[in-house]
């Protein structure tokens, strides 16, 4: 009898590496194969849901970062029976918003959140597909905290620690949970 793979090893087998995309030298970690196979997608979602069903880690709301964080976050929120909040790229939300600008490798970007997305004191799980430099997750956290929410943890499928984002996020005091790390 063969021992079943740990969830992280199983998921890693379904992450596609695309060399030299979007620029030469980059090894792009493509999570779309995780979403295409219903069995793999279930393992992915269950890995998050089982963690956050624990009363000590259960959020009041899940916030997902544009755009793949929407896919994960909305399904995790549904499974946990809590609300979902999208954190969008600038100019995509129709109501009154708060905005946070962050630095990218070349230039800057901004994300926005509706001013009524969370209430003061709510415990929020902030989720995205991948942590690279950490800029997007840090900006999302700042937005949520400006509205009075408590970001209890940041979560992602993939961590790229060599880019320093997970270290910076942890140093800022944000606990992180990731499923697959590419050292």
Active site residues: 68, 105
CA distance 80 to 58: 8
Q: 62: closest CA among 76, 43, 47?
A: 76
Q: Are 98 and 85 in contact (CB under 8 A)?
A: no
Q: How many CB atoms lie under 10 A from the CB of residue 139?
A: 22
Taking the CA of residue 175 as centre, how many other CA atoms within 13 Å lie in the half-sphere pointing to its CB? 8
Per DSSP bridges, beta strands 27-30 and 16-19 are antiparallel
């Amino acid at each position: 009898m063969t021992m079943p793979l740990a969830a992280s090893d199983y998921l890693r087998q379904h992450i596609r590496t695309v060399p030299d995309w979007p620029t030469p030298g980059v090894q792009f970690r493509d999570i779309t194969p995780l979403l295409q196979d219903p069995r793999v997608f279930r393992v992915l979602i269950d890995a998050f849901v089982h963690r956050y069903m624990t009363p000590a880690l259960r959020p009041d709301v899940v916030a997902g970062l544009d755009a793949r964080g929407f896919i994960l976050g909305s399904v995790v929120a549904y499974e946990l029976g809590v609300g979902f909040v999208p954190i969008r790229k600038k100019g995509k939300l129709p109501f009154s918003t708060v905005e946070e600008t962050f630095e990218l490798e070349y230039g800057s970007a901004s994300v926005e959140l509706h001013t009524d997305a969370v209430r003061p004191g709510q415990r929020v799980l902030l989720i995205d597909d991948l942590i690279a430099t950490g800029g997007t997750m840090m900006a999302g956290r700042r937005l949520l905290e400006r509205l009075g929410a408590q970001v209890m943890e940041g979560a992602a499928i993939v961590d790229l620690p060599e880019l320093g984002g997970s270290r910076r996020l942890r140093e800022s005091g944000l606990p992180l949970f990731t499923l697959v790390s590419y050292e």
